[in-house]
Structure 1
Amino acid sequence: MNDEQPPAKPGWEPLPYKHLPRPNYFPAGLAMGTTFIFWGFITSWVIFLVGLGLFTAALAGWITEILHERNERK
């Protein structure tokens, strides 16, 4: 990865370099799991369990991704 930035235009101050996390689908999975959990309260226990599983998997994946990225920077 190249940490260099293109030169700023005259009179402009360049932004400091800031590491951005990799994009992933875990936040969307967490939102879908939450939706299925609440939908399962209204409809059926099967949908509730699917939502709970999706919520748990997405949360665990997101936490793992955060910890992995934190260890990479050290």
Structure 2
Amino acid sequence: MHFIDALGEMCPIPIIKAEKELKKLNKGEKLVLETDHSCSIQSVVKHFEGKYNYKCSYIEVEEGIWQITIEKA
């Protein structure tokens, strides 16, 4: 599993970082992006599900900190 720390970064920076990292991954591999901006959840999920049809999910791991998992299709 690959990991990106996007704490303190606002969109579109998390999307740009995830785009770059996902290019390196093989189909079926997962990327976890950690963010502390709730608006990034909707932006990231909408982007990768809509543009690439990648599976996305997210969980709040601590109060105000979320991990978004993106599976490359």
TM > 0.5 fold call = no
Structure with greater proportional strand content:
2
What is the TM-score when the length of structure 2 is the normalising length?
Answer: 0.26
Structure with greater Cα Rg: 1
